[in-house]
Chains A and B, each alone.
Chain A
């Protein structure tokens, strides 16, 4: 079925270090994935997306890796800052207009 899930519910990283947030999916029908950041009391904020015909995409301090063989997606955040503390969700479209969200990982940056 359609599902997107995360390996770890919480992650703590020292400020300045790199962080990696993982996501696994079970349905290979998705051709589009997105990472969102959600701060407390706010709506999700778009970070980066990737299409299934790519295996890597880079943005400013963020990199998304897609491994379709093992149905795994990751978000790498370089040189983490206190403002990176938030809940991060992966989402996929699974061939339709709707987005299915993963369970989320709470990232805490330790000063």
Chain B
């Protein structure tokens, strides 16, 4: 149980274009989803917290107009990288916490990430 699916697993796009990444909780409902970014040989850095039906909360230094997050249902959150540039190339990973895990002392379930390469 507690499977989180990301799509696509990898994407190559041209500079200036936008890319949408989907994150789905397959067998549970997720009130909260988190989007992380990971550069090579580095740790996961939280970008934003996404709550179903409300605006996302962005971490300091993350441009909300560049990284658009939509969490329209309890099983789907999307991250859109707008006007992508080569420096946006990274590994984007989403995670989710289920309704039954609203207490903070519970693990997050992670997707398998999306490798974005901007040329």
Partner of B104, one of A93, A100, A103: A93
Interface residues of A in 19-47 (CB under 8 A from B): 31-32, 34, 36, 41-46
Interface of A is mostly: loop
Taking a contact as CB atoms under 8 Å apart, the answer to whether B111 and A46 are in contact is: no
Bound complex: CA of A74 vs CA of B34, how far in Å?
25
Taking a contact as CB atoms under 8 Å apart, the answer to whether B46 and A45 are in contact is: no
Q: A102-B43, A103-B43 are contacts. A97–B110 as well, Cβ < 8 Å?
A: no
Interface residues of A in 26-77 (CB under 8 A from B): 31-32, 34, 36, 41-46, 49, 51
Residues of A within 8 A of B106 (CB): 32
The number of chain B residues touching the other chain, given as a range, is 20 to 34
Taking a contact as CB atoms under 8 Å apart, the answer to whether B113 and A46 are in contact is: no
| Residue contacts A-B, CB under 8 angstroms, 29 given | A31-B105, A32-B104, A34-B108, A41-B112, A41-B115, A42-B112, A43-B4, A43-B93, A43-B95, A43-B112, A44-B44, A44-B110, A45-B110, A49-B105, A49-B107, A89-B43, A93-B105, A96-B104, A97-B97, A98-B34, A99-B34, A99-B95, A100-B46, A101-B43, A101-B44, A101-B45, A103-B42, A103-B43, A104-B42
Give chain A's interface residues, CB within 8 Å of chain B: 31-32, 34, 36, 41-46, 49, 51, 89, 93, 95-104
18 more contacts with CB within 8 A, not counting A49-B105, A99-B34, are A41-B112, A41-B115, A42-B113, A44-B44, A44-B95, A44-B110, A45-B110, A46-B109, A49-B107, A89-B44, A93-B104, A95-B104, A97-B32, A97-B97, A99-B108, A100-B46, A103-B42, A104-B43
